[in-house]
Amino acid sequence: MEAGPTAKSALFDCRQSFADTLIELAKSDERIVAVCNDSVGSSNLVAFQKQFPDRLINVGIAEQNMVGVGAGLAIGGFIPFVCGAAPFLTGRALEQVKVDVAYNALPVVLCGMSPGMAYGELGPTHHSIEDLSWLRAIDGLAIVVPADPAQTAAAVRWAASAATPCYIRVGRTKVPSVSDDAATAFAFGRIDVLRAGADLTIAATGTMVSRALAAAETLAQRGLQVRVLNVATIKPLDEAVIVAAARETAAIVTVEEAMIEGGLGAAVAEIVVRHAPVPMRMLGVKGFAPTGTAEYLFDHFGLNPEGIVAAALELKGR
Amino acid sequence: MAVSPSSPGRAPQLAVSLSEGLDAAERAQRLRREATRIRRDVVEMIGRAHLGHVGGDLSVTDILATLFFGVLRLDPAAPRAPERDRFILSKGHCAAALYSTLAQRGFMPLEALSTFMQPLSALNGHPNRRKVPGVEANTGPLGHGLPIAVGCAIAAKLARASWRTFVVLGDGELQEGSNWEAAMCGGHQKLDNLVAVVDRNRLQQGARTEDTNRLEPLADRWRAFGWDAVECDGHDHAALYEAFVSPHKGRPRCVIAKTIKGKGVSFIEDRVEWHHKVPSPEQIELALKELV
């Protein structure tokens, strides 16, 4: 039986890693500015504001203007990190994201803070479970979902020099580390194979990656060798790794903290049906959530190791 | 297919097209001549494409001519020179007038205008910065230009640069709430390097603005948002020039340019149906006779 890595137990907040990295980059590159919507605290920009008071532009509670201002700053030669709670950044300002950022092909880094169901009890108005579906349909917009603080830091570093429109989910839900080496934790467009296996593939993103690793451990005890993929770049999707997973393991489970319609599962399926059709199960958020903490809601929707194991066993006919 | 600037690579030479030393009367006369060229182009382009927004194109023409020939510091051979003044046409449906202005100003060959809205032309029905040199932002959906312009003006302040930002808004488009988010922000940020021009022709696609969703008292509304608002005749080049260049320290300026939709063609002027109606060949001939 193959032993693979499992998630390490200590839990970390990706927002701190985001904030520290942004400050570090801003020190050496004067073009880096932050734009936010009265979210200095919730976007973890307090320290940035203290160090660079002029380079934090707080437009107030006005997301459409915030994204437009970001585009204008880019036209003026800056690299804006536009930060706001993910549901409002992507939902309220969707047309600005499409037209002002993506269609203009401007180097604006859209930072979706506290995505998914991180705001648990605040309810569906404050959940960002549609963002992956909405944004996947926008041409030229890269979508990055880091799984841990090291990946978040590396993704922010990539975004600062990528000179391309992009959206990064910056997680609030505390997660264990799934990266061995901070320096190589993230490469744009790369899917990381965190665990080898040929019986089944679990493709997970963001908060679900550590849960996928835990599920793989349980499945190994049941005699199934599971390949675990950390999909940190949702768009563009690493086709070769997906096709290889389909061909070599013949069954795929996808797991995401997002609506199934149009998210990671759909993106994987689009590739699989064209190149190597195999049975799949897609785990994700199914509709507007009831009241509960993020952790409670993960359990509610089966977005936990037990839910992943059950889907895997059902898929394998066990 | 993109239209390329004529000589990429050389050092930018940013300048106003017309000498700033001209006396007011001479400048106005030269701007009138440019405006007439643009109006004739617009009518011919729309006639050839059988598509376009002739009413708004003709109302915004004198604003564009005054800005591009009398005010903006640009280099057509270096359309992305960092120190250039920024210009954004928020009412992107009036792309024909912008394309003609850019061509007349040297950003692309005049012959390119004949491709307006033809398959695969760079000259789409709404402007695209990735394909047309001199276009600063892709616009079309209304209410996008002012937030972008506010961002540009903040950028110049942060960089301690002297370039300025001008944005032209339709009056009907002020019904979009995003404009007022940006107006509030521009006033708060005291962006005295920003000028927003409202093409106040009082007509929107379906009816008069005041019968649809009232805009008046428009100047007072801008003033309430912290702007220095002035009103002028939007077809008087000397008045427009003065409104664009006179100082407005500590506050962004809004120029409410009182215009006539369809200006210059008698049977199109101030008629709601000419928002995007296409003139017949006979009407084009009549229009060109009037535009001299």
A240 Cα to chain B: minimum distance (Å): 31
> What pLDDT is stored for residue B61 in this prediction?
98
Domains of chain A: 12-176 (3.40.50.970), 189-315 (3.40.50.920)
Of A57, A67, A77, the CB nearest to B159: A77
> What pLDDT is stored for residue B19 in this prediction?
85
- What is the C-alpha separation between A25 and A30, in angstroms, rounded? 9
> What pLDDT is stored for residue B4 in this prediction?
57
- Residue entry with tokens 């506050």: B251
Nearest CA in chain B to A65: B147
> What pLDDT is stored for residue B10 in this prediction?
80
- pLDDT mean across residues, chain A: 96
- What is the C-alpha separation between A73 and A204, in angstroms, rounded? 35
pLDDT at B107 over 80: yes
* Chain A partners within 8 Å of B139 (Cβ): 99
The CA-CA-CA angle for residues B253, B256, B260, to 5°, reads: 155
Answer yes or no: do B137 and A104 touch at CB < 8 A: yes
Answer yes or no: do A100 and B144 touch at CB < 8 A: yes
- What is the C-alpha separation between A318 and B167, in angstroms, rounded? 64
pLDDT digits (tens, 9 = 90+) for B198-207: 999 999 999 9
B148 touches chain A (CB under 8 A): yes
* Chain A partners within 8 Å of B87 (Cβ): none
Domains of chain B: 24-290 (3.40.50.970)
Nearest CA in chain B to A54: B158
Nearest CA in chain A to B163: A76
B158 touches chain A (CB under 8 A): yes
Of B146, B147, B155, the CB nearest to A78: B155
pLDDT at B8 over 70: no
- What is the C-alpha separation between A268 and A245, in angstroms, rounded? 11
Region at A65 (left for phi over 0; alpha for psi -120 to 50; beta for the rest): alpha
Both structure tokens of B78? 């270096």
* Chain A partners within 8 Å of B165 (Cβ): 72
pLDDT at B109 over 80: yes
DSSP reduced 3-state for A226: strand
* Chain B partners within 8 Å of A55 (Cβ): 158
> What pLDDT is stored for residue B13 in this prediction?
94
Query: A169: which strand partners?
Result: A112
> What pLDDT is stored for residue A2 in this prediction?
40
What ipTM was predicted for this assembly? 0.95
Answer yes or no: do B151 and A55 touch at CB < 8 A: no
> What pLDDT is stored for residue B20 in this prediction?
82
Work out the average pLDDT over B146-165.
98
CB B63 within 8 A of CB B241: no
Residues in chain A with pLDDT < 50?
A: 1-4
pLDDT at B6 over 60: no
Active site residue A239: no
Both structure tokens of A289? 């959530």
> How sure is the predictor about B9, in pLDDT bands with cuts at 50, 70 and 90?
low
Work out the average pLDDT over B84-113.
98
- What is the C-alpha separation between B11 and B13, in angstroms, rounded? 6
Answer yes or no: do A71 and B137 touch at CB < 8 A: yes
Answer yes or no: do B82 and A95 touch at CB < 8 A: no
pLDDT digits (tens, 9 = 90+) for B248-267: 999 999 999 999 999 999 99
> What pLDDT is stored for residue B3 in this prediction?
64
Answer yes or no: do A64 and B86 touch at CB < 8 A: no
